[in-house]
């Protein structure tokens, strides 16, 4: 007998994504309709534009995901949707679509937390999630989480202002680079000297597991009038190194404090090559194992949502159709720590 099939929708920001997973380990399809080019003209995501495009795209993306999975809608055993955190108007589209499909098919609905999707994405395809320290670092979130197992998490620290990815986007905009800013800054930084400009490492020695990146962004803004276009590579390299220094230092200290031997890194900034290089080297030096989400799983996608839904469904957890979206992170994800 084949494993049950779950169809998951993810519309928390500017990607309309749908995936079909069989059991916990077999991804049958993953389709993403990105709006990055559309929002690039604004230098960031416009919520109303995003939600309208989700509405226009969602039916076609669901159909494409089913076609690529080679299954009929009637074969889907449960439907999952991201219910938060994210842009409220965008979340409503995917969550409502998943609920509507579940209601019409008389099948279970599973509400999935977007952050949990990222958090567990380094273990995508695995039957179990081992104890670890999870670093979720994206455009909307920078978190350190102590993971006991799937569904059991303790929040250790978070950004007190800008997320790391948000800082990348804002600094890229200051420098006249494109959107999203992370890949743009990373590309320019390859030709730069990271030591040339003295940039702050906010909260690096704060004694807790929280982050702050707004001061770093402001420092770059104040430096700009003193620099020329030829200095841009050095400024990008220095900014990137400052972010990486803080992320690596805080993550390793959290692993030591919680006596975890494994670190798992996810989210859009988790795909940054310099972060991966530095963290892998530091982990090896400290006797830690580090696991990164595959590059294709770092950006927003529905495959990670489907994976989390499959783990929850296997554990006997489903959600009421009346469950509302929760645009902010909240504490619900960490209630079972």
Region label for 7, one of left (φ > 0), alpha (ψ between -120 and 50) or beta (otherwise) = beta
- Side-by-side strand order, sheet with 5-10: 26-34, 15-22, 5-10, 78-84, 109-113
Whether the predicted pLDDT of 337 surpasses 80: no
Per the CB < 8 A criterion, the answer to whether 232 and 102 are in contact is: no
By C-alpha distance, which of 241, 286, 306, 254 is closest to 134?
Answer: 254
- Give per-residue pLDDT as tens, 243-293: 999 999 999 999 999 999 999 999 999 999 999 999 999 999 999 999 999
pLDDT of residue 250: 98
1 pLDDT higher than 50: no
Residue 238 and residue 21: Cα distance in Å, rounded? 41
- Token duo for residue 84: 């938060």
In the chain, the domains with their CATH numbers are 5-121+298-334 (3.30.420.40), 130-292 (3.30.420.40)
* CA end-to-end span of the chain: 35
Asked if residue 336 has pLDDT above 90, the reply is no
**CA gap 241, 243 in Å, rounded:** 5
Nearest CA-CA partner of 311 in 110, 75, 144, 98: 110
Q: Are 189 and 272 in contact (CB under 8 A)?
A: no
pLDDT at 170 over 70: yes
The 10s digit of each residue's pLDDT in 49-103 is 999 999 999 999 999 999 999 999 999 999 999 999 999 999 999 999 999 999 9
pLDDT, tens only, 89-103: 999 999 999 999 999
- pLDDT-derived band at 3 (thresholds 50, 70, 90) equals confident
What's the pLDDT at 213?
97
Helix locations, 82-177, DSSP H: 88-105, 114-120, 164-174
What pLDDT sits at residue 71?
Answer: 97
Residue 91 near residue 53 (C-beta atoms within 8 A): no
Residue 118 pLDDT > 90, yes or no? yes
- Judged by average pLDDT, the poorest of 5-14, 32-41, 308-317 is 32-41
CA atoms within 13 A on the CB side of 308: 28
Tokens of 227: 């620099």
Whether the Cβ atoms of residue 155 and residue 116 lie closer than 8 Å to each other: no
pLDDT of 14: 92
Q: What is the pLDDT of residues 181-208, one digit of tens each?
A: 999 999 999 999 999 999 999 999 999 9
Tokens 């959600």 belong to residue = 319
Arithmetic mean of pLDDT, 237-245: 98
Residue 263 CB-half CA count within 13 A: 31
Cα distances (Å, whole numbers) of residue 6 to 108, 148, 156, 303, 321: 10, 25, 31, 10, 16
Q: What is the mean pLDDT of the chain?
A: 96
What is the Cα–Cα distance from 260 to 280, expressed in whole angstroms? 15
- pLDDT at residue 304 in the model: 98
User: Is pLDDT above 70 for 2?
Assistant: no
The secondary structure of residue 2, as a DSSP letter, is: P
């Amino acid at each position: 007998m084949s494993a049950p099939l779950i169809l998951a929708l993810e519309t928390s920001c500017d990607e309309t994504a749908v995936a079909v997973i069989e059991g916990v380990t077999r991804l049958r399809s993953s389709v993403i309709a990105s709006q990055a080019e559309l929002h690039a003209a604004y230098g960031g995501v416009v919520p109303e534009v995003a939600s309208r495009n989700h509405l226009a795209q969602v039916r076609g993306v669901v159909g494409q995901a089913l076609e690529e999975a080679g299954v009929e809608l009637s074969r889907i055993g449960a439907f999952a949707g991201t219910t938060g955190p994210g842009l409220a108007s965008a979340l409503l589209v995917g969550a409502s679509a998943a609920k509507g499909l579940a209601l019409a098919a008389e099948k279970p609905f599973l509400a999935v937390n977007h952050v949990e999707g990222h958090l567990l994405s380094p273990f995508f395809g695995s039957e179990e999630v081992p104890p670890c320290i999870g670093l979720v670092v994206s455009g909307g979130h920078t978190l350190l989480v102590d993971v006991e197992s799937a569904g059991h998490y303790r929040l250790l620290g978070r950004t007190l202002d800008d997320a790391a990815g948000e800082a990348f986007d804002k600094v890229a905009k200051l420098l006249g680079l494109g959107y999203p800013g992370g890949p743009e800054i990373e590309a320019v930084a390859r030709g730069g000297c990271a030591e040339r400009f003295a940039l702050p490492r906010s909260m690096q020695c704060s004694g807790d597991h929280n982050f702050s990146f707004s001061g770093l962004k402001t420092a770059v803004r104040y430096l700009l009038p003193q620099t020329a276009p030829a200095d841009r590579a050095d400024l990008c390299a220095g900014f990137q190194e400052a972010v990486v220094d803080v992320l690596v230092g805080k993550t390793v200290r959290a692993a030591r404090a919680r006596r975890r031997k494994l670190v798992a890194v996810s989210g859009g900034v988790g795909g940054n090559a310099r972060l991966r290089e530095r963290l892998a080297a530091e982990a090896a030096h400290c006797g830690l194992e580090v696991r990164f989400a595959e590059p294709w799983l770092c950006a927003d996608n529905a495959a990670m949502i489907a994976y989390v839904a499959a783990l929850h469904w296997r554990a006997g957890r489903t959600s009421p159709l009346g469950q509302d979206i929760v645009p902010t992170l909240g504490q619900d994800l960490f209630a079972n720590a």
